[in-house]
Amino acid sequence: MNYTSEFWTSVLLAFVTGSVATGLIVWSSVRAKEAQKKAQVIPDGITGALHALATAGLVLDVDNKIVRATRSAFALGLVRDQVLVHPKLVSLVDKARKAKKSSKARAKDFALASELGDATIWVNSRAVHLGEGYVLLLVEDRTESHNLEETSRDFVANISHELKTPIGAMSLLSEAIQSAADDPKQVRKFAKNLETESARLTQLVQDIIQLSRVQSAEVAGTAAEIDLATVVAEAVDRNRVLANKKKIQLKIATTDGIRVFGDQELLTTAVKNLLENAISYSDTESPVSIRLRKKSGVAEIAIKDKGAGISPEDLDRIFERFYRVDQSRSRATGGTGLGLSLVKNIAQKHLGEVQVKSKVGAGSTFTIRIPLATAPIDATGSKK
Ligand code: ADP
């Protein structure tokens, strides 16, 4: 090899090395720019902020592809294969992107049908353009509060309907009394009916007031320690007249010292209602029993009758407000259809439950189950 060829080889090598180095520098600066651009369009804080949100949050790019999404967005079933499942949400996102003032959020309430089954979720959605075609979509699940509103609307409608019946009857009866003023026998008959309707109205109003009190009552945490034997004794006392009228013997088996945290009056109402039903839906002279006992950390009050019993279809519905199996029988016994709903609410407020076993023609057993009050633990950790 002579000097000339050595010279040219070095020049070539220097050129190749220089080109590769320059290429690398250019390539890395392009990548850095791209990365910078990306960082600019989805601001750093967005991801962190999304995870801090209680609502579902998503960021969509200019092609409506989801580039960021919180776990709750998946849990709500909003995302499949990096796209939004619901066309209504897509259209809200598109509108936000096209908005002239990019910072102005678009908000809308939607009922979104689930992909499977017939469930619907009720959401409040907000979309805002972040710039460069990126849109932030926030979706708040309001299904629970929507259902609650619907239930209370139904309740108000039901109350109005239930109140209209005795009020209408009272108004007709008072007219009838006036027309029959010259016939004392008829007047006495109508006056008696008026008294019955008035008693029904009083009972209905009392049950409605009690139910709304129970629903807003804060029992757990603020409750006193209650001996359930006194609750049972009081509930039995309140049913003595009714039981005697039907010659029904009440068999009582209780043990002292079974204590729960609770509200004495509410618990008495619950047991009284169950006892009243057991007597009302039993034939004359059919026995009714009440047993109070402890079972694996739980206090149980079981009320057993050998009365009409309840069919399996009705068993699923008897705890609903205003539900009565037999309208005419319930009217005859003066029932409002709220008794069991009250019992269920009271049991739940005491962190407990109510169970029922029943067979048509053989009778029913309703059992209230409430956790026993545990002994307080003092600062040294020993039980008092
Ligand atoms: P009501 O005021 O009509 O008694 P409840 O809410 O107390 O309303 O009870 C709902 C329905 O459940 C009643 O109409 C009745 O048909 C049925 N039911 C409740 N307790 C008994 C029972 N011990 N035996 C048979 N049926 C019962």
Angle (nearest 5°) at CA 33 between 45 and 133: 55
Its pTM stands at: 0.66
Higher-pLDDT residue of 14, 241: 241
Q: Is pLDDT of 22 > 90?
A: no
Q: Is 162 in the pocket of ligand 1 (CB under 6 A)?
A: no
Instruction: Indicate which residue's Cα is closest to atom 11 of ligand 1.
Output: 324
Rounded distance, CA 141 to CA 181, Å?
62
Q: Is 236 in the pocket of ligand 1 (CB under 6 A)?
A: no
257 and 294 in contact (C-beta within 8 Å)?
Answer: no
H helix intervals, the chain? 3-41, 44-52, 71-75, 87-98, 143-179, 184-216, 228-245, 264-280, 312-315, 327-333, 339-349
Most informative mutation of 200, 204, 239, 277 for ligand 1 (most atoms within 8 A of CB): 277
Closest among 90, 129, 123 to 108, alpha carbons compared: 123
Q: Is 305 in the pocket of ligand 1 (CB under 6 A)?
A: yes
Coil, strand or helix at 348: helix
For residue range 90-125, what is the model confidence (pLDDT) as tens digits? 999 999 998 866 677 889 999 998 766 677 889 999
Angle (nearest 5°) at CA 334 between 333 and 337: 100
With cut-offs at 50, 70 and 90, classify the pLDDT of residue 132: confident
Check residue 250 and report its DSSP letter. Answer: E
For residue range 279-331, what is the model confidence (pLDDT) as tens digits? 999 999 999 999 999 998 899 999 999 999 999 999 989 999 888 887 776 66
Most informative mutation of 305, 318, 327, 331 for ligand 1 (most atoms within 8 A of CB): 318
Higher-pLDDT residue of 303, 373: 303
In this predicted structure, what is the pLDDT of residue 238? 96
Instruction: Indicate which residue's Cα is closest to atom 21 of ligand 1.
Output: 277
DSSP for 204-243, written as a single string:
HHHHHHHHHHHHH---TTTPEEEEHHHHHHHHHHHHHHHH
Maximum CA pair distance of the chain? 148
Most informative mutation of 204, 248, 324, 357 for ligand 1 (most atoms within 8 A of CB): 324
For residue range 27-58, what is the model confidence (pLDDT) as tens digits? 665 565 455 445 445 666 777 777 777 789 99
DSSP for 10-41, written as a single string:
HHHHHHHHHHHHHHHHHHHHHHHHHHHHHHHH
CA of 199 from ligand 1 middle (Å) equals 19
CA of 284 from ligand 1 middle (Å) equals 17
Q: Is 337 in the pocket of ligand 1 (CB under 6 A)?
A: yes
340 and 281 in contact (C-beta within 8 Å)?
Answer: no
In this predicted structure, what is the pLDDT of residue 26? 61
- To the nearest 10°, report the CA torsion of 111, 116, 118, 120: -20
Q: Is 278 in the pocket of ligand 1 (CB under 6 A)?
A: yes
Q: Which residues contact 361 (CB under 8 A, 6 or more apart)?
A: 308, 309
Distances from the Cα of 352 to the Cα of 48, 152, 298, 299, angstroms: 41, 23, 9, 9
CA of 214 from ligand 1 middle (Å) equals 19
For residue range 208-248, what is the model confidence (pLDDT) as tens digits? 888 888 877 767 556 789 999 999 999 999 999 999 999 99
CA of 318 from ligand 1 middle (Å) equals 7
pLDDT mean across residues, the chain: 85
CA of 264 from ligand 1 middle (Å) equals 23
Q: Is 345 in the pocket of ligand 1 (CB under 6 A)?
A: no
Instruction: Indicate which residue's Cα is closest to atom 2 of ligand 1.
Output: 335
**What number is the average pLDDT over the span 119-141?**
91
Pairing of strands 363-371, 353-359: antiparallel
CA of 240 from ligand 1 middle (Å) equals 19
Rounded distance, CA 139 to CA 123, Å?
6
Coil, strand or helix at 6: helix
As a whole-number percent, the residues of the chain with pLDDT over 90 amount to 53
Closest among 382, 93, 342 to 207, alpha carbons compared: 342
In single-letter form, the type of residue at position 184 comes to P
